[in-house]
Structure 1
Amino acid sequence: MSGDGRRGASSPRPPTPDTHHPSPDPRLRKALEKLARQRLEQLDQLPPDMAGQIKALSDYDFMDQDARQQFEDLLKMLQQQILGNQFEGLKQSIQSLTPQDLQRLREMVRDLNRMLQEKAQGGNPDFQGFMQKHGQFFPPGINSLEELVEHLQRRAAQMQSLLNSLTPEMRQSLQDMMNSLLKDDRLKWDLMQLAANLERLMPTRQFQGRYPFRGDESLTLEEAMKLMDRLQELGQLEKQLRQARDADALADVDAEKVRGLLGDEAAEQLERLRQLTKLLEDAGYLQRKGDTLQLTAKGIRRIGQKALQDIFSKLKKDAFGKHETDFRGTGGERVDETKAYEFGDPFHLDVQETLMNSLVREGAGTPVKLQPEDFAVYRTQQMTESSIVLRIDMSRSMILRGCFVAAKKVALALNSLIKSQYPNDNLYVVMFAEYARELRPEALPELAWDEDVYGTNMQHGLMLSRHLLGRHKGGTKQVIVITDGEPTAHLEGEVAHFSYPPTARTLIETLKEVERCTRERIVINTFMLEQSRQLVAFVNQLTRINKGRAFFATPERLGEYVLVDYVSSKRKRIA
């Protein structure tokens, strides 16, 4: 029984080999595991920078073919952005760049180098033949070698501007990455030679810029290059607008570029500005002389009147004030105010007040009896004749601090005021920086600041002012100084010596000239646009010697200070 039972029971069979999932050879499995560990160690030891990682992965033996394909696709995308930045036609084709395509690229760069070298040596290279052979590498619309060079330099400058805008660490990382991607040493050498040839024909400095960035939003390389392109276009447009000082130059400004970069409203404003020249010519404010436009006398007067209106529109009607004096004499202009007659007064009789004085004393009736004390006369106001030198600091700091335009506006307004209200006065304008020079008041509207000048040579300015005022023997003489800094230059013979901080000799020579002005009864009034310790200390010394006055004024209120002080000093009540 028991035996039959054992025979009937199922007994275990040896395992049947699985033909679908055969067990790997233990030695093979061990080798694969060892290789995988080595690959992981290689990946863990990749350099920290992107360029080093790209170089290491280029030599890496991928076990997974999908991973290998993804890495190669990434390399092609980066190559497209870097080479495509220089040669726009590569953007589409580089994704499927074959060895034959790479050879054509090398050939194009070599031909381009030969053409640029021939041009630099004074030759006449075959541009049309080059474009027929290699035109697919460049965008349409390039019709000359000059346009091609400018296009390539702009593209190169975009990358350089991007590099200039990065931190040193980021800049080095990006440069290393580009070097890792351009593994073809011959192509890399040809591109370096191309950069040198382009720089010789058209330096990239005129296109490059540095643009500070901030914020948390990251950009791809392609997005960054597009941003560089837009910023460069804005920079070129700004340069065009700054250089458009006449109607002809304004006509050269690209209106469509203005519309694309700044919008429709800016383009419409540009068009109105272009029409402004004709309107000013028709109104008689501008006239053509040859190829240039010049202000007419009417235009100069209108600018001065406008500056005068702008300044005095901020003042109250009675804001001038008067300097009273006990001086008696004859002459002058009659005013509406009256006084009791005294011996020596001009006999400008106020008949009505004289009769009323008698009637108040005697009462109504005829005849009217007059006594000497009844007589009332109009007061007179003497207008003093003045000779003025307006000295304007033209040093670099004046424009950097926004003071130059305010000083120019004051000069225009003062000239207009004197010509219209005080024609007997004499106005001179002296500009001073490293040297001083006289400027005709009529030339004030066209006065422009020279960014290459340095120094504040007050000594030469006072010397020239003293010479100009010496032409007039009578009347008051004054120098109005508008400055934002202490003297930093003086003359040694005929040569200016500049030093900042100023030397003791500069201060001494300047104060010597102040003493000479004082001896010739020239009053120096100083309007300070800064309150630096050095300037205040110097002006304190100046006023102690000369007895003139010193004011601190902001550029916005400079005109009010200067013109009100001038008008106040013109009026003296004499009777």
Structure 2
Amino acid sequence: MRHGKSARYGRYTGGPDPLAPPIDLSDALEEIADEVMAGYSPEQAIREYLQRGSRDMPGLDELAGRVHQRRRDLLSRHRLDGTLQQVKELLDEAVLEERKQLARDITMDDMDRDFREMQLMNLPESTAAAVTELSDYDWQSTTARQNYEEIKDLLGREMLDQRFAGMKDALENATDADREAIAEMLNDLNELLDKHARGEDTQQDFEDFMAKHGDQFPENPQNIDELIDTLAKRSAAAQRMLASMTPEQREELMQLSAQAFGSPELMDQLSRLDANLQALRPGEDWTGSETFEGEQGLGLGDGTGVLQDLADLDALAEQLSQSYEGSSLSDVDIEKLARQLGDDAAVSARTLAELEKALYDSNLLRRGSTGDLRLSPQAIRRLGKSLLKDAADRLTDRQGQRDTRLAGAAGELTGATRTWQFGDVEPWNVTRTITNAITRTVSEGNDPGERLRLEVEDVEIQETEARTQAAVVLLVDTSFSMAAENRWVPMKRTALALHQLISTRFRGDELQLINFGRYANQVQVEELTAMAPLYEQGTNLHHGLLLATRFFRKHPSMRPVLLIVTDGEPTAHLLPNGQSWFSYPPMPDTLHATVAELDRVSRMNSDITFFRLGNDPGLKRFLEAMAKRVEGKVVAPDVRDLGAAVVNEFLHSRRPNLPFAF
């Protein structure tokens, strides 16, 4: 309040909120990446995400559901005989008032009274026929005459309201001059449309028409095409409303239309207008119909508006489905959506459109050599960082302990410091850590002298020289059962988390990802992420171990670390000719070949850990026997904790002499 004046603030309605934070792609990236890792293409994954939405944002499916619900509500709430009912009520009131007047009028000739009574009593049951029959009746009651004249006025306003929204209210209590102005507008409009159909009109013709009759068109069209589009949509909706009526209602209305304003000239002009518009815009739906089952009667103008709403809802449903060629969320008519479902729905749709654009414009997706869309290296890094954090959180939550590795044991100090990150075991730089805490506390407006609280982001560590380097192989089972038992995505998430940890915290280490199904292959993390489920039988651990051995031999100075993720016994092995031999149950030859190759890996002094998924007794016996044979370890995590388990075991293998736990 200032100088006696006040200001009121409300929701910003001028489009996207200019103060809204930028679109956060983190959550979207994680969900889309899960779909990609499950076998969807990035385009499919983005489409699925936008359809589904997120916890805090409704998706296209929810908006489409609200569109369909509103459509059902309109049809179940309304019926189309509102104008006919109004006419019947006015007619009944007029007849009643007239009979009252005849009974009161003692000066009237008895024969004349009896004739009038007989005429009123024997009116046709059809409202339209009764109105027509009374068109020449000499009303004795002023009230009755007014009611009958109101019927003609109502019909005229409703007929106009069908073609020009809002005309019914605008012409209430209209004078003869007002009706003459409407008649002149209709004549000028039809002349303009005729001229346009012949290709003889100019922009000046349109501007002259608008200068004369522009107040009748609140839509404010800027050229004749916009004018025709607006009128054609309304006129087509009027035709669909007529087609949606019962044959009896339609017949009644057609008869009554001649009484509009007490002259057939109005209907002549409107019929001419409909014909012009249909010829100019044949693509509109001029013949469709709907089934209304409600109790709320609609007048002609309101009914036409509802038919337009139904057409808008149908268009929105198609736009939200995104099922047509070249579809994009920029196609969604935000203004139409706000009109039908409210501002909140419009904000949601606009946010989804911005998110879609941000995903395609960001560096998170890129085209491969074949033109297909893939997650970019930047997306892989961001996703790996998130998955690594999730693995750390799961370990901390599950065991409730903190890192207890000895400070300084990672190597000699280099003198440099950096911010602590997950996986670091180096000693703290206490001076830098306290300085960071004081600086942050002061910037937050607090007095560091009263109470100083350390946050994780304050901690800086002293960098050390790594004493050892490791050659790490992650062998992941990609056989049929991994996909069938919903272990496909957790396996990929595990690989990404380990890749992120090694590439950021153990840069001197070398990581090789190897997948094994019927055959084994060395793969890059991007390839593994995009790999579709392989519905082929065969668990060729033997081939995977051969590739692991070859990798370890390429790095003789590094410490070998072998991590094997599998959910089944070996059922395939590689023959001397390079072919894969598959048999289930496992053949002795397969087991012998696998054990022999595992022995070769063990002789390199490798740290070997098996991660058993599922509860297959045969697999359990086999892995326990193998772990005992090579002095390795078997870990049986829940599939949701696979990433955390692999990261934990890797860190143990890298710091074997340190007490370590989460």
TM-score by length of 2: 0.40
Structure whose alpha-carbon radius of gyration is higher: 1
Q: Whose RCO is larger (CA < 8 A, sep 6+)?
A: 2
TM-score by length of 1: 0.45
